[in-house]
Chains A and B, each alone.
Chain A
Amino acid sequence: MNIAVLAKQVPDLVEGLEIDPSGKALDVNYLRYILSESDDHALEQALLLKEKVGGRVEVFALNQGEARESLVAAIAKGADRAVLVDAGLDSPLNNHAAAQIFAGLLGGGLFDLILTGVRAIDDLDGSLGGLVAGSLDLPYAALIRKAEADGDGKTVIVQKEYPGGYAVELVVRLPAVLGIQAAEQPPRYVPISRLRQVMKTATVEEVSVAPPSQQPLDVTCLFKPEEGAGAVMISGGAQEAARQIMSLLSERRLLR
């Protein structure tokens, strides 16, 4: 089975986020990028499928943030090919533009499955998987937590999550795009010694593409929610908080 994985870099929330003076974008000075968590799961799911039924896993990423390092890590985990895609632009592309690029690269029936995370923390104009599927007129199933290849190689059986703990088993005809919520096992660990070794020996292919036509969203401003806004804050330590919360509950007639 030939599987393509689309991997995106997103801002690392550990470093905190600041809004730049224009008020319409993030301040990139302190931004650190990491691989989007559900894309990591998409890669893991792809590797698990390859381990079960054979085939190839190829990982594609737009040149942004630490994309190159994420691609090297993917090879270290067992991906067969890693491609860094450069669209010659400085600022990050919205998902519509990214989808155009990937649709151009992945069309033509090269892959049985295209896996990507069902959502990334910076998704504003819809998630990548659905947009790629729409562009290529491929079937799309989102919030997938399990995928098994059917014996005939023409379909995969997936589990799609619904709220309330429900899920649905679907039969998906290939070729298809899946938006992965969680892989069947947590993304595997790459020992740093292996990562460093692969960094020296592996090749990350570089592909240049023409900048896509973009219809940027009309962002009027970015803002952070007011800290603690709305909540009446109880001061003092744990003992005081316990006392005040108890009074509040008693007042509201919530105690038996």
Chain B
Amino acid sequence: MRNDILVFAEHFRGTLNDITYELLGKGRELAQSLDSRLLVSLLGHEVGGLVERLGVADQVCLVDRPELKEFASDSTKAVLEAILADVQPRLVLLGSTSIGLELLGLISARKGIPCLDNCTRLESRDGKLVATCQIYGGKVFVEVALPEATTLVAVVPGSFPKEPGEVASKPELRNIALPPVLPEARTTFRKLLEPPSGDVDITKAPILVGVGRGIQNADNMSLAEELAAALSGVVCASRPVIDQGWLPLTRQVGKSGMTVKPKLYLALGISGAPEHLEGMKQSELIVAVNTDPNAPIFSVAHYGAVVDALELLPLLTEEVSNQVTKKASA
């Protein structure tokens, strides 16, 4: 085993996902502290064009094959295992994502490689790698010293900034010896199901008014809509609200929904389950309102108030409307 860091790059519909840059940025930092190299694996079909976006890495293991056009864990796993055998990295960084969740356990169990999930922090301390992982809905954090052996770590998207990973230049390509034929995939892609369209794209809205269980019922949605209108923003929600059918799927913020980074995210009656935080914690200004002073949302918010969102909504709408009117007539 060498001290190199290997990042598993994820892409969707021709673009690299943000998690890839987040992992690259952190990978670069760790490689520097361990005085080792950063490698990245890029698997897919006709993805060569993405190589130049991986400039922060020292080497790219590019595997471009028709069988890898759509993600299938059998084929991806076989290729990744070959890369691991070749590179023998100290640490493999994956996203705790739809793809990472499949690969993590499969490779760990088959190859006897230790693994960790739900990682939100990773650092090198006196030559040892220490990961911090979140469990119990984000209420408890666990610090784990990684074993002195190749370890797989799945990272919660949004845990690290992506800017340090965005270096455009042409990294060196590394050849990996692969079997001429990959094992037949036992899970095969049939078709892509798109989300219902014809609605606002919340990822593009600069101001978002987020509602959670604290909104209590569908009637109160109008209070949120009024505030959004006064702010020229858009209403979005955490999963429980979407599950109730009070807003369409396209307004869902969080792990299974959209990731948003607006200038302002107002979290009203949202407790802050990790799945939701993942989708909005990188917003520029987060103001959270919840009756529970221990709500996890306050750990990512910049400003918070322990009041009832339903009480606050009409009051804030009035304050904003008055201010806006004042400015207009000034």
Given contacts A139-B73, A255-B323, contact A13 B137 (CB under 8 A): yes
Contact stretch, chosen from A42-50, A52-60, A118-126: A118-126
Q: Which residues of B contact A64 (CB under 8 A)?
A: none
Tell me the nearest residue of chain B to A226, going by C-beta. B299
Q: A173 vs B300: C-alpha distance in the bound complex, in angstroms?
A: 42
Q: Which residues of A contact B193 (CB under 8 A)?
A: 159, 166-169
Q: A178 vs B154: C-alpha distance in the bound complex, in angstroms?
A: 19
A222 touches B73 (CB 8 A): no
Q: A217 vs B147: C-alpha distance in the bound complex, in angstroms?
A: 8
Question: Which positions 126-178 of chain A face chain B at CB distance < 8 Å?
Answer: 126-135, 137, 139-143, 157, 159-173, 176
Q: Which residues of A contact B306 (CB under 8 A)?
A: 233
Q: Which residues of A contact B250 (CB under 8 A)?
A: 165
Given contacts A124-B133, A129-B105, A142-B98, contact A165 B257 (CB under 8 A): yes
B255 on the interface (CB 8 Å rule)? yes
Contact stretch, chosen from B57-65, B171-179, B286-294: B286-294
Given contacts A166-B192, A169-B193, A255-B323, contact A225 B285 (CB under 8 A): no
Task: Label chain B's interface by main secondary structure.
Answer: mixed
Q: Which residues of B contact A166 (CB under 8 A)?
A: 12, 192-195
A84 on the interface (CB 8 Å rule)? no
B85 on the interface (CB 8 Å rule)? no
Q: Which residues of A contact B258 (CB under 8 A)?
A: 163-165
Interface flags, B50-61, vs A, CB<8A=1, else 0 = 000000000000
Q: Which residues of A contact B252 (CB under 8 A)?
A: 165
Binding site for A on B (CB under 8 A): 12, 70, 73-74, 97-98, 101-110, 114-118, 130, 133, 135-147, 152, 154, 186-196, 207, 231-232, 249-250, 252, 255-259, 263-264, 285, 287-289, 293-294, 296, 298-308, 311-312, 315-316, 318-320, 323-324, 327
B74 touches A230 (CB 8 A): no
A190 on the interface (CB 8 Å rule)? no
Interface flags, A216-230, vs B, CB<8A=1, else 0 = 011111111111111
- Partner among B114, B117, B304, B327 whose Cβ is within 8 Å of the Cβ of A233: B304
Contact stretch, chosen from A74-82, A107-115, A192-200, A244-252: A244-252
16 contacts between A and B (CB under 8 A): A11-B136, A96-B108, A127-B104, A133-B105, A140-B73, A163-B97, A168-B192, A220-B130, A222-B140, A224-B139, A230-B298, A230-B299, A234-B304, A241-B305, A252-B264, A255-B231
Q: Which residues of B contact A210 (CB under 8 A)?
A: none
Q: A221 vs B188: C-alpha distance in the bound complex, in angstroms?
A: 42
Tell me the nearest residue of chain B to A120, going by C-beta. B135
Q: A99 vs B106: C-alpha distance in the bound complex, in angstroms?
A: 11
B109 touches A127 (CB 8 A): no
A130 touches B109 (CB 8 A): yes
Known: A238-B307, A241-B315. 12 other contacts (CB 8 A): A126-B105, A127-B105, A131-B105, A134-B108, A139-B186, A163-B258, A163-B259, A165-B258, A215-B147, A226-B299, A233-B303, A243-B319
B141 touches A126 (CB 8 A): no
Q: Closest 7 CB pairs between A and B?
A: A130-B105, A134-B109, A165-B195, A139-B186, A242-B315, A231-B304, A246-B319
Q: Which residues of A contact B12 (CB under 8 A)?
A: 162, 166
A255 touches B324 (CB 8 A): yes
A248 touches B287 (CB 8 A): yes
A130 touches B101 (CB 8 A): yes
Nearest CB in chain B: distance from A216 CB, A: 10
Q: Which residues of A contact B105 (CB under 8 A)?
A: 95, 99, 126-134, 140
Q: Which residues of A contact B207 (CB under 8 A)?
A: 254
A130 touches B106 (CB 8 A): yes
B106 touches A124 (CB 8 A): no
A237 on the interface (CB 8 Å rule)? yes
Q: Which residues of B contact A157 (CB under 8 A)?
A: 190
Q: Which residues of A contact B145 (CB under 8 A)?
A: 218, 220
Q: A171 vs B72: C-alpha distance in the bound complex, in angstroms?
A: 10
Q: A159 vs B167: C-alpha distance in the bound complex, in angstroms?
A: 35
